[in-house]
Amino acid sequence: MGHVPFADGLQGKTFQWLLDRLKNHGWWLMLSNGARLSTMDEGWDDAVPFGKAYVESAPDRLIWGSDWPHVRWRKPRMPSDAELVELFYRYVENDTGLIRKIMVDNPARLHGFA
Question: For the chain, what is the radius of gyration of the CA atoms?
Answer: 14
Predicted TM-score (pTM) of the model is 0.93
Q: What is the distance between the alpha carbons of residues 60 and 102, in angstroms, rounded to a whole number?
A: 7
Residues 30-64 pLDDT 10s: 999 999 999 999 999 999 999 999 999 999 999 99
Q: What is the distance between the alpha carbons of residues 29 and 35, in angstroms, rounded to a whole number?
A: 16
| Percent of the chain at pLDDT exceeding 90 | 86
Mean pLDDT computed over 72-96: 94
In this prediction, residue 70 carries a pLDDT of: 85
In this prediction, residue 20 carries a pLDDT of: 97
3-state class (DSSP) for residue 87: helix
In this prediction, residue 51 carries a pLDDT of: 98
| Angstrom distances, CA of residue 8 to CA of 4, 84, 85 | 8, 23, 25
- How is the chain split into domains, by residue range? 6-111
Task: Look up the CATH architecture of domain 6-111.
Answer: Alpha-Beta Barrel (3.20)
